[in-house]
Chain A
């Protein structure tokens, strides 16, 4: 890459700045709007000093239900989904990694196909299931479809991780007299920890971001997850203009996600990277 390197290096700073502007400008605009008073949002002539206010945040936190409720709901659903996915996927990946190659390839293809599938198309059948089995308006029940939807990615990553372990490790541990559960718990799991972490964070992010199924399975305003709540707030604007409140909601909603990305960026990147390479 050294030829391109010299060309790029000279324009490097410019390109990086452009990249950052492209990635962050829309959010930055939300940030600015969230502190701008409603009058100033529609009147650019108001002088700089008088444009700022905290009222949008105050309204959000005192509304019914208060905004942090949605963040809590999303966290609960995401947490339960992540745990459920890992609990189901780790043993499954262990088994899949030991299958003969021909089987493994076939299953991997099927799992890939599932990963590609635009899951919004599942909403109607899942809605019927929610109606028939009273699964609606329950944050815990929602974790079931979420786990299923995240399972392909989890299986891909974890199977690859298990495949990467030395073959004789399992045999050696078995010879030492460890049961399956002990082998998994004490030998395997620690070794695939990075992959598990990646899987966990990717599943968590997926559950936070999911919209169509949450939209159809949740209707009570105090149970809404963040994306559904944002859509509802968007629709509730009486004028086309209370973007101040909406911008504040965007900022508050983005903060947890921003923290997650910054804290776990290495896991996210390695997860997606490995998924791509092995996929």
Chain B
């Protein structure tokens, strides 16, 4: 009897010892890694350190610094995902990639963690492009929109219609007040599609009909939008060089004081206020022009964090996502690097407005955001558009005088070609008719 009590006692003691060992061992923090393009990664260093301090022992966040080129980030991620390998938990995702990743089944829906009230706090531009097939797949980190910059010293008020813009630009160029008129991005790249979307909506058209998913580039609005862009060059409202301009080229021209108007992203504002800028203090921001009766549009380009489906630590990853997109984080990114916030309230925050007086205008533009087609094949659709549009813009005019009939026909033909090829593309890739 005594012997069995001793044995039982020994066993219970052993149990206690084992339990103590099991529970007292150092608990490993959950590792979370997020892939970001190099500029964003560098901008987030301090935030990451703060996060790791606050979550010491529970979550260890690491930001993987990816290539500078935006497309290279996607290539890098896809090369892993195609092999079934998930080397990171979350990815900073451009708005145009989301449909592709979501359709491929690589993303985890974020609906369980972010509800409608959280969405309502976002400004419109940041709210766009996060959903696919009615699921939330991305939480925005920063939202940019295209805006029209104008020279306050050259005109009383900015134009509101395309005709006004052309007229003022031509007048200023002809009177030699500026050399360039209106500079924008006309090179054969994604920037051209962004420019076109704004003009297209300004003429009452749309690239894709959200109701039925059909392309509408064969509409008269699209033809007129393309024609207007071409006429800018033909009439001299924009310099011919614009057909090779990217954002930095147009910024350079405007900053030097050579241009009266510029279409660009909000980041340009800070550049234009720098000491070496020739137009410091003389610049205003407004919405892109639109025909009378049409609503001005601003193409939205946003980045957000998406959770990968195979992530072994979704909860911890979402925690990190929340932190990096919190109002504190937005405030810090804006004040330090000029990244546009995503929460509506921050756009009227006195501290932020004090730093950048353009903030209210940018907010207004964000309220007029329009997305590019949310198709998994967007990159190819955009390529078709860029090719035809840039070809139209760079074509030599048949005669030295502007023959309106020919220009209209050429624009319509170009747009129709994009429509036909896009339809062919969709059919060949298995899109439902």
**Judging by beta carbons under 8 Å apart, are B83 and A136 in contact?**
yes
**Judging by beta carbons under 8 Å apart, are A236 and B85 in contact?**
no
Most buried by B among A215, A232, A238: A238
Question: In angstroms, how far is the closest chain A Cβ from the Cβ of B241?
Answer: 22
**Judging by beta carbons under 8 Å apart, are B38 and A236 in contact?**
yes
With contacts A235-B72, A238-B42 known, is A136 near B84, CB below 8 A? yes
A131 proximity list for chain B (CB < 8 A): 82-84
Question: In angstroms, how far is the closest chain A Cβ from the Cβ of B407?
Answer: 39
- The verdict on B66 contacting chain A, using a C-beta distance below 8 Å, is yes
Smallest CB gap from B69: residue in A: A235
How many Å lie between the Cα of A235 and that of B39 in the bound state? 14
Give the residue of A137, A220, A238 whose beta carbon is less than 8 angstroms from that of B38: A238
Return the CB mask of A208-244 against B: 1 if under 8 Å, else 0. 0000000111011100000000001001111000000
B38 proximity list for chain A (CB < 8 A): 236, 238
How many Å lie between the Cα of A137 and that of B85 in the bound state? 9
- The verdict on A134 contacting chain B, using a C-beta distance below 8 Å, is yes
**Judging by beta carbons under 8 Å apart, are B87 and A220 in contact?**
yes
Question: In angstroms, how far is the closest chain A Cβ from the Cβ of B323?
Answer: 24
How many Å lie between the Cα of A226 and that of B67 in the bound state? 18
Question: In angstroms, how far is the closest chain A Cβ from the Cβ of B91?
Answer: 14
How many Å lie between the Cα of A136 and that of B72 in the bound state? 20
- The verdict on A114 contacting chain B, using a C-beta distance below 8 Å, is no
Smallest CB gap from B38: residue in A: A238
Give the residue of A127, A219, A237 whose beta carbon is less than 8 angstroms from that of B80: A219
Smallest CB gap from A236: residue in B: B67
| Interface size in chain A (residues, C-beta < 8 A) | 17
How many Å lie between the Cα of A236 and that of B85 in the bound state? 21
Give the residue of A137, A236, A238 whose beta carbon is less than 8 angstroms from that of B39: A238
- The verdict on A31 contacting chain B, using a C-beta distance below 8 Å, is no
- The verdict on A130 contacting chain B, using a C-beta distance below 8 Å, is yes
A215 proximity list for chain B (CB < 8 A): 79
Question: In angstroms, how far is the closest chain A Cβ from the Cβ of B348?
Answer: 34
Smallest CB gap from A216: residue in B: B79
With contacts A235-B67, A236-B65, A238-B38 known, is A137 near B83, CB below 8 A? yes
B87 proximity list for chain A (CB < 8 A): 219-221
A-B contact pairs, 24 of them (CB 8 A): A127-B82, A130-B83, A131-B82, A131-B83, A131-B84, A217-B83, A219-B79, A219-B85, A219-B87, A220-B80, A220-B85, A220-B87, A221-B87, A232-B67, A232-B76, A235-B69, A235-B76, A236-B65, A236-B68, A237-B67, A237-B68, A238-B38, A238-B42, A238-B68
B-side residues, CB < 8 A to A, are 38-39, 42, 65-69, 72, 76, 79-80, 82-85, 87
A-side residues, CB < 8 A to B, are 127, 130-131, 134, 136-137, 215-217, 219-221, 232, 235-238
* Additional 5 contacts, C-beta under 8 A, given A221-B87, A235-B67: A136-B83, A137-B85, A216-B82, A219-B87, A236-B67
